[in-house]
Amino acid sequence: EARVFNQTPIRPRQSRLLLAKILFLLYRGDSMATAEATNLFFSITKLFQCKDMSLRQMVYLTIRELSTISEDVIMVTSSLMKDMQPKSEITYRANAIRALCKIVDPSMLSGIERFLKAAIVEKSPSIASAALVSAAHLFQDAKDVVRRWGNEANEALNGKALSQGASFFGGASGAGQVVSTSNIVQYHAMGLLYAIRQHDRMAVLKLVNTFTGQSKSSGWMGGGGGGATLRSNMAHVLLIRYAVEVMEGDPSRASQLHELLKEWVRHRSDMVSLEAARAMCQLPGLNSKQLTPAVNALQVFLSSPRPTVRFAAIRTLNMLARTHPEAVQPCNVDMEGLITDSNRSVATFAITTLLKTGNEASVDRLMKQMQGFMAEISDEFKTIVAEAVRSLCRKFPAKHGVFLAFLSGVLRDEGGLEFKWAVIEAIIDLAKHVPECKEAALAHLCEFIEDCEFTKLSVRVLHFLGEEGPQTARPTMYIRHIYNRVVLENAVVRAAAVSALAKFGAATAADPSLQQSVRVLLRRCLDDREDEVRDRAAWALRMTGDTAMRGKYVRDDSTFALAVLERKLVEYCANPAAAAAGQFSFDGIPRISRAQEEEMRDRVRVEAMDAVLTGSAVSAPSKQAAAAAGADAAAAAAPGTPTTAGTAGGFADAFERQAQYAEKLNAIPELAAFGAQPLVSSCAAADLTEAETEYVVRCIKHIYAGHVVFQFDVTNTIPEQIMEQVEVAMEPEDDSAAELQPVVVVPIPELRCNEPGSAYVAFERADAAEFPTATFGCTLKFVVKEIDPATGEPMEGDDGFEDEYSLEAADLGAGDYMLATYIPDSHALWEALGADSEAVEVFALAAFDGIEACITSVAALLGMCPLDGALRPKSKAAHQAVFTGKWMGAAKTVARTRMTFQKGSGVTMELAVRSEDPSVSQLVVAAVA
Amino acid sequence: MVNHSLYTVQAVVVLDSDGARLLAKYYSRRPSAQGHKSLKEQKKFESELFSKTRKSSSEVILLDGQTVLFKYINDVYFYLVGASDENELLLSSVLNGLVEAISALLKHNVDKRNLLDNLDMVVLALDETIDDGIALETDPNAIASNVSKRGVDTLDVSLANLNEQTLLDAYKQAKERFNLALLR
């Protein structure tokens, strides 16, 4: 068809339609071969002979689209240049500029630079816009050239406003060409200017100040119309972002920024107002009162007729509610109205926000409202609601009656697996955490499995009944329900039911008659058609008959760290050599307690839900980022805070982290020689600098069989500098470190701003049986080079100068040799180890003014895993705690402390340690001394 | 990470009432943008988008970590995809500009058939609104005026409208054709 182009005379109308068809094919997703595109391209160039404007515009567009797939597009440069000349028509020029910039080679750019510069300051907005946008595109490839256009862009930014202002005063002077009312040139100029100057903080600040100063004065003049320089709303949005960027983190400007945002929130354009409100909500360190203007503006948006406005407002509020629930409370009434919003995203956000801000009184009303519209919404949305109710249950356990009624109500409704699953989980959660409603919840679950079409759900419920049922007052009722399943259901459910029965059988040992009847039921299952069911029944019968086995299977409350187990298994499967060498070994897999795992799973779930709601972490990479952030948060919480969730999660994450460290360490040949993986890695990084200094250094210690490695994570926070040859010099502060001989120092070759790097220092332990403790004075040594703010590269010819920066001392304590692991059944271990290996000492610690402070610091010194409640003293006067760990990753160690507190004399603590290696017990006790 | 650049639009998609693609343009110049790389991914994204928005009167949805603004007129669905942390109202103004410009160009008679008949105007309007992910213009009037109307074929003019031409025009045309003949 492309032959049409070759016809003479050229027929513009037909050609144009044909071009449109080609574009249509491209846009539809049909791809074109390079040769084909090149051919097409050359036939299109013939169309330049035609002067018809409508055709020409289409030609430009096609050229631009083809430029990515065709070759030799450079050929048309001269034709385009001709169209850029000032005498051609406006539409011509704008399009020619854009097409030219798309195809031009960075090296040829200087040739057309003059035209582009002239175009940027052109009066006609469409030409100026085209030139500015093209410049922004080019900026990625040809930074140097475009950087020279800063002045022109600035002129466009300010000058354009003036000329527009003039036309404003002079009435409608823009006859002929329709003048854009959006003043979008400013937006483009602003964006380009920022791109040019983004490395230069002062310049951006100046840019921001130019506009903030003037808009303020115009506000005072009360004119508003002609005086305000910034007339494009979109440019204003950009301005807000830039203002926040340059002023944030600078305490001297914090109040100024807040004032500005307050003013911008009142802007008459919704777009600007929203951006300002959002910026305000994201500012750290504001209290609820300071947030009021933003919240007020958003509240008005909530009742807007436009869904987009409502959506934007509720999303911002949702974000805010996470950090400042009390600030959002004034909007509760408006948000309740939005629960039934036609836009489901809006409704979802409304519900989840309300859950965060709601108080106990509003819960009843909320539930009633939700019940009303549950039937009308899709499954997916119902699932979200169920999840939301689940978190609400945790928040207000006193309202369990209402929740349970609601959940059981929706359970009876129609729904898919996902939704039912969420509801079941919510009920189980409720039963676990609110003991008062356990019986009622179990009854609902029993009723549910009577008529359940999902095998998976039946299994889940049966498992839970097996766990909780035996502890209730009337286990017989549950046994009846469970046995019904054995009679009626398919094989998978039958197997699960048998397992549940087994648990009843094991746990009801105190009541022989009941146990007997369970055994009768189990015996009947021996005739089942399925192997699995028969196997389970046989196993259960044996187990219930034998007391020792019963204890082992039923009371075991530990489980493997599943993530680690999975990774090890994958490694095992991927490596045929290992498979040939022998069976998979469970020794290397840390065990964690059920409770810890539960906590971890909860945390992951909450995070995932948050992520779904913010819509930010759906793709895989960002999910990883979220997980990493979670790990960081847990790490921050781990060292001493008494929140169990934080510590439990922290320990589980520690395994993950350790694997990461090992990977990093093994990448360095000198260190890899020490062993495959450090035996112990300290779980929390110790800060060696203040938080707000030029260089941030954190220290992590790794213990190998014969070596100690210090890892220093260094972050350079000065954008103007680049650090090279960064290393840490460590000087022992006393002689005690004589047993430690420095062996390797690994520097960081180059460190840019905000790109953390790791330097290492390794010591060799002279005597493997000695575990020296020491304190090292640390100094950061490096070569500093200035950075050219324009390019982001180091200045040429700058050899840099050497500099030092002294850090706080790094300690190597006995606790660092201890691997914090959960050891199941620590009591039995304690007994088994016996008094021979025990080391006991009594300390009088006058310095502490409370048990809690004392236990936290002891935990930090020991470096061991606190067992349930160890860090949460129940009384103020006395406390007992148990810790477990493995010395050098091998020798199991249990520590028990008892402490009492008296006002005046401080804390008195008795520490008893037993270990598989008696010398270790002494060392551990010494660690606290 | 707040978007400090001019790149705001990640894709524009136009679907018909069956969810089939009429037009789709994915912009990938912005370095950090999560690109819908392959055609298959794009189609999957679109079908999901369509199934989620078909029966809803709302204008905005979060999908795959992106904010999607949409609008439909008769049997044509317009979608605009932006980053999830983008200012929704800014995106909305861009989409509005595009849709209203197209609507004006099609004489306020937007449906699938009309759209396909006037493809040239539609693609030009799209191009005048968004340039590789940067919003070029949001004022529908300005967009519409930047899109040139369809010209008439020179041949047709000379035959059909001969009597309406001025003498000068006629002369010009004759000259042009003479030149062309010479060139040939």
At residue A128, does pLDDT exceed 80? no
Over range A140-155, report the average pLDDT: 71
Q: Which residue among A21, A346, A618 places its CB closest to the CB of B64?
A: A618
The answer, for B170 touching chain A at a CB cutoff of 8 Å, is: no
Using a 10 angstrom Cβ sphere, with 0-12 exposed, 13-18 middle and 19 or more buried, the burial of residue A155 is middle
Between A386 and B170, the more confident residue is A386
Q: Which residues pair with A156 in a beta bridge?
A: none
Minimal-distance CA residue of chain B relative to A342: B58
Q: Hey, is the C-beta of A775 within 8 angstroms of any chain B C-beta?
A: no
Interchain pair B138, A234: CB under 8 A? yes
Residue among B136, B147, B155 minimizing CB distance to A11: B155
Q: How far is B24 from chain A (nearest CA, A)?
A: 5
Q: Which two tokens stand for residue A130?
A: 């085209």
Reported confidence tier of residue B37, pLDDT bands at 50, 70, 90:
low
CA distances from B179 to A79, A600, B170, B183, B184 (A): 20, 82, 14, 6, 9
* Residue of A769 and A391 predicted with greater confidence: A391
**Could you tell me which of A120, A129, A44, A57 has the C-alpha nearest to residue A88?**
A57
Rounded Cα distance between A548 and A543, Å, is 9
- Res B23: pLDDT: 81
Write out residues 77-106 of B within 8 Å (CB-CB) of A.
84-85, 87-90, 92-93, 97
Q: Is the pLDDT of residue A215 over 60?
A: no
Q: How far apart are the first and last CA of chain A?
A: 91
Strands (E) located in A821-890: 838-845, 865-866, 878-887
Say yes or no: B127 contacts chain A, CB-CB below 8 A. Answer: yes
Q: Which residue of B has its CA nearest to A18?
A: B120
pLDDT of residue A549: 60
Interfacial A residues in 294-353 facing B (CB < 8 Å)? 306-309, 311-312, 315, 341-346
Contact state of A615 with B62 under an 8 Å Cβ cutoff: yes
3-state secondary structure A123-141: CCHHHHHHHHHHHHHHHCC
Question: What end-to-end distance do the CA atoms of chain B give, in Å?
Answer: 60
Chain B contact for A614, CB < 8 A?
yes
| pLDDT tens profile A506-545 | 766 566 777 777 778 878 877 777 788 888 888 777 777 6
Residue A906: predicted pLDDT? 75
How confident is the model at residue A796, as a pLDDT?
A: 61
A654 or A849, higher pLDDT = A849
Cβ pairs A/B, distance under 8 A: 215
* A223 DSSP assignment: -
CA distance A879 to A863: 19
Q: How far apart are CA A120 and CA A129, in angstroms?
A: 7
* Closest by Cβ to A274, choosing from B61, B66, B89: B89
Q: What is the pLDDT of residue B160?
A: 40
Closest by alpha carbon to A386, among A346, A441, A424, A443? A424
Phi-psi region of A797 (alpha: psi -120 to 50; beta: other; left: phi over 0): left
| CA dihedral over A583, A588, A594, A598, signed as positive or negative | negative
Task: Count other Cβ atoms within 10 Å, centred on residue A202.
Answer: 10
| Exposed / middle / buried, residue A799 (Cβ in 10 Å: 0-12, 13-18, 19+) | exposed
- Asked if residues A282 and B59 have their Cβ atoms less than 8 Å apart, the reply is no
**DSSP 8-state class, residue A703:** E
**Contacting residues of B for A244, CB less than 8 Å apart:** 2
Interface with B, mutate which of A23, A140, A198, A616 (most B CBs under 10 A):
A23
Nearest to A53 among B29, B97, B148 (CB): B148
Shortest CA gap B91–chain A (Å): 10
A425-458: pLDDT as tens digits: 888 877 777 777 777 888 888 888 777 778 888 8
User: Is B114 at the interface with chain A, CB within 8 A?
Assistant: no
Position A375 scores a pLDDT of 65
pLDDT in tens, A260-308: 777 777 777 778 888 888 887 777 766 777 777 788 888 888 877 787 8
Q: How far apart are CA B21 and CA A926, in angstroms?
A: 74
Task: Give how far the C-alpha of residue A34 lies from the chain's centroid of Cα atoms, to the nearest Å.
Answer: 42
> Are B92 and A308 in contact (CB < 8 Å)?
yes
Pure H helices in A339-437? 344-357, 360-373, 379-395, 400-412, 417-433
pLDDT computed for residue A231 by the predictor: 64
In this predicted structure, what is the pLDDT of residue A268?
Answer: 74
The pLDDT value given to residue A585: 55
Report the distance separating Cα A744 and Cα A796, nearest Å.
32
**Spatial separation of the C-alpha atoms in residues A526 and A6, rounded to whole Å:** 87
Query: Which residues in chain B have their CB less than 8 angstroms from residue A317's CB?
Result: none
Query: Would you call A13 and B4 a contact, using CB atoms and an 8 Å cutoff?
Result: no
**Higher-scoring residue by pLDDT: A769, A915:** A915
Q: Which residues of B touch A180 (CB under 8 A)?
A: 137, 139, 141-142
Amino acid identity of A432?
K
Query: Cα separation of A241 and A194, whole Å?
Result: 11
Contact B76, B114 (CB under 8 A): no
Q: Which of A91, A245, A619 sits opposite B64 (nearest CB)?
A: A619
- Name residue B83's beta-bridge partners: B66
Amino acid of residue A479: I
User: Between A177, A194, A312, which is nearest B89 by CB?
Assistant: A312
Contact residues, chain A, for B60 at CB < 8 Å? 307-308, 311-312, 343, 345
pLDDT at A225 over 50: no
Contact status of B135 with chain A (Cβ, < 8 Å): yes
d(CA A209, CA A215): 10
Nearest to A8 among B88, B139, B180 (CB): B180
pLDDT: is A585 or A852 the higher one?
A: A852
Q: What is the DSSP string of A79-124?
A: HHHHHHSTTS-HHHHHHHHHHHHHH--GGGHHHHHHHHHHHHT-SS
At A348 the pLDDT is 75
Report the C-alpha gap between B94 and B129 in whole angstroms: 7
- Give yes or no for residue A216 having a pLDDT over 50: no
Q: What confidence score (pLDDT) does residue A620 get?
A: 33
Helix (H) or strand (E) holding A326: helix A325-328
Interface membership of B111 toward A (CB under 8 Å): no
**For residues A137 and A195, is the Cβ–Cβ distance under 8 A?**
no
Q: Is residue A850 predicted with pLDDT exceeding 70? A: yes
* Contact status of B34 with chain A (Cβ, < 8 Å): yes
Residue A194 contacts B where some CB pair is shorter than 8 Å = yes
Contact A244 B85 (CB under 8 A): no
Judged by CB atoms closer than 8 Å, whether chains meet at B142 and A126 is answered as yes
Which residue in B9, B53, B60 has the most chain A C-beta atoms within 10 A of its own C-beta, making it the best mutation to test that interface? B60
Q: Does B142 touch chain A (CB under 8 A)?
A: yes
* Residue A841: pLDDT band with limits 50, 70, 90: confident
- From chain B, pick out residues whose CB is under 8 angstroms from the CB of A198: 4
CA distance readout (Å), A463 to A482, A522, A693, A888: 10, 16, 54, 38
Q: In which element (H, E) is residue A723 found?
A: strand A721-732
pLDDT in tens, B87-116: 888 888 888 888 888 888 888 777 888 888
| A514 in contact with B, Cβ within 8 Å | no
Residue, of A679 and B134, whose pLDDT is higher: B134
Average pLDDT, chain A: 69
**Is A177 an interface residue toward B (CB < 8 Å)?**
yes
Best probe of the B interface among A308, A348, A352, A612, by most B CBs < 10 A, is A308
Question: What pLDDT, in 10s, does the model give residues A174-206?
Answer: 333 344 455 677 777 777 777 777 766 667 777
Residue of B nearest to A306 (CA): B59
Task: Judge: A184–B155 Cβ closer than 8 Å, yes or no.
Answer: no
Contact B151 A17 (CB under 8 A): no
Of A423 and A108, the structure prediction assigns the larger pLDDT to A423
At residue A903's C-alpha, the angle toward residues A899 and A909, to 5°, is 15
Rounded mean pLDDT of A564-588? 60
B-chain CB neighbours of A242 within 8 Å are: 4
pLDDT value at residue A29: 67
Query: Which residues on B lie below 8 Å from A616 (Cβ)?
Result: 65, 84-85
Residue A612 pLDDT level (bands cut at 50, 70, 90): very low
How would residue A369 be classed by pLDDT, with cut points 50, 70 and 90? Answer: confident
H/E stretch holding A153 reads: helix A150-169
Q: Is B182 on the interface with A (CB under 8 A)?
A: no
Picking from A180, A269, A614 by the largest number of B CB atoms within 10 A of its own CB, the best residue to mutate is A180
- Residue A7, classified by CB atoms within 10 Å of its CB into exposed (0-12), middle (13-18) or buried (19+), is exposed
Each residue of A380-410: pLDDT tens digit? 677 777 777 777 777 777 777 777 777 777 7
Could you report the per-residue pLDDT of A625-672, keeping only the tens digit for each? 334 344 443 333 333 333 333 333 444 455 556 666 666 666 666 666
**Å from A197 to nearest chain B CA?**
12
For the ranges A194-198, A525-529, A906-910, B121-125, the lowest mean pLDDT is seen at A194-198
Residue to substitute from A10, A13, A754, interface B, most B β-carbons within 10 A: A13
DSSP string, A2-58: GGGGGSSS--HHHHHHHHHHHHHHHHHT----HHHHHHHHHHHHGGGG---HHHHHH
Q: Look at A130 and B180 and tell me if their CB atoms are within 8 Å.
A: no
